[in-house]
Amino acid sequence: MKKFLIPILLALCAVMLVGCKRLELPVAGAVEITEYETSGQGEINRVTVRDSEQVKYLCQNLNSLTLKKIRRGGMTELKYQLVIYNSAGMKVKTLNITFDGHIDYGGEFYSVKKGELDLDYIKSLLLVTAQNKNEKYSYGSPIVSSGGSGIQPIETLSYTNEYTIDGESLICADGMGYYGIFSDPETKLTELPVLVADGKITVTSPEHSKIGSVRVFDTNFEHFEDHSNFDSLHHLPVGEYVIVFFENTDSRNTNPDGKTYWLTQYENIFRLSVPARKISDEQYSILFNDTSALTDFDINAKYRAGERVKFTLMAVTEQYYRVFLGEEELSLIKNDENYYYTTFAFIMPEGGAKIKIEVVSVEIPSK
């Protein structure tokens, strides 16, 4: 009996596996997502997702599914199309997802037999372009993200230089930059794409671009403070802000055989909303390991968890500071044009805060 039972079980397993498939998406460099209105007609939104964590989650979610081949007749009701690109920018896979959650892969339709297709996550990634429909402005290539959503900021030209292959400058053209939008009486805050700070804020950009410092303005376009990078933006006080950050592009990466190339600086603009935080009733103290550099004596004795703490250190010649909140290194806020002071800010955690200040010496070479 056992002799016959084993072949029967193997045959049953083979029947069960017929038509089942696991996706094998490669490690992707980017995913282009297109959303359609009905049956693959009427494109609603399109976005290219380059953030490595977002791309990784999307591919892992799809690869975790077990698919079962199904028969479909008539017109397919296409909702999303996902085009997968490798790190070199080459198209490697295309997936179509229907309104009812079926997947068109290689010309065959599959239903999800095991696992859960995260359509909500795909929809959240499309928020990047949902707010960028105003034809009054052009939108840059960087994507600013927080939590499960992101935006493409408005792009304004600051300046551009054209160089010959030997490095000689031919043209220096100045643009209006963000000031052109700020000074335009027709500018409305509601026209600026808005990002809600749902955790840390990150920015991704093409390989030929380099992201620079971040300037923070209030909703009256008045300067609030400057940040060295995006890491500290989520430590802003609760409220609405206008954010400007710099992007330098080098066209040598896009046209290596050209006789001339361009170095261009853009200023990207978007609106940032920092939502209210949960602030506990219990108050906590701050413990500094070194108060000798501390110049801001207006710091409160105690703060509630969820409140913003901001303090200033006196700048030192041939040295700089590294400041840690526990194990996390804080990014500085540059709010002093003469660099006499160095400012840091953080959100008070539960249980209080231990601030460690390290002074790092810089060796200046002699002539």
Work out the pLDDT band at 131, boundaries 50, 70, 90. very low
Mean pLDDT value across the chain:
79
Mean pLDDT of 143-157: 85
Strand order, beta sheet including 30-38: 20-22, 66-69, 108-114, 103-105, 91-98, 78-85, 30-38, 41-49
- Rounded-to-integer distance, Cα 210 and Cα 141, Å: 11
Q: What's the mean pLDDT in 101-110?
A: 84
In tens, the pLDDT along 111-120 reads 888 888 888 8
Q: Where along the chain do its domains lie?
A: 16-125, 131-274, 283-361
Please state, as a whole number, how many other Cβ atoms lie within 10 Å of the Cβ of residue 326: 12
pTM (global) more than 0.75: no
Q: What is the pLDDT of residues 292-312, one digit of tens each?
A: 878 766 788 899 999 999 888
How far apart are alpha carbons 153 and 139 in whole angstroms?
A: 6
Closest C-alpha to 50, from 195, 130, 120, 152: 152
CA 240 from centroid of its chain's CA atoms? 19
Please report the pLDDT score of residue 222 as a whole number.
94
Ramachandran bin of 134, using left for φ above 0, alpha for ψ from -120 to 50, beta for the remaining angles: beta
Residue 300 three-state SS: coil
> What is the secondary structure of 173-188 as a DSSP string?
EE--HHHHHHT-TT--
With beta carbons less than 8 A apart as the criterion, state whether 308 and 275 touch: no
Higher pLDDT, 316 or 343: 343
pLDDT confidence of residue 16:
42
The DSSP H or E segment spanning 12 is: helix 2-17
Residue 187 above 70 pLDDT? yes
Q: Are strands 283-288 and 353-361 parallel, antiparallel or unpaired?
A: parallel
3-class SS of residue 200: coil
Query: In which band, very low, low, confident or very high, does the pLDDT at 163 lie, cut at 50, 70 and 90?
Result: confident
**Residue 65 dihedral angles phi and psi, to the nearest 5°:** -80, 145
And the tokens for 196?
A: 């809600």
SS3 (DSSP) at 285 = strand
Is the CB of residue 163 less than 8 Å from the CB of residue 239? no
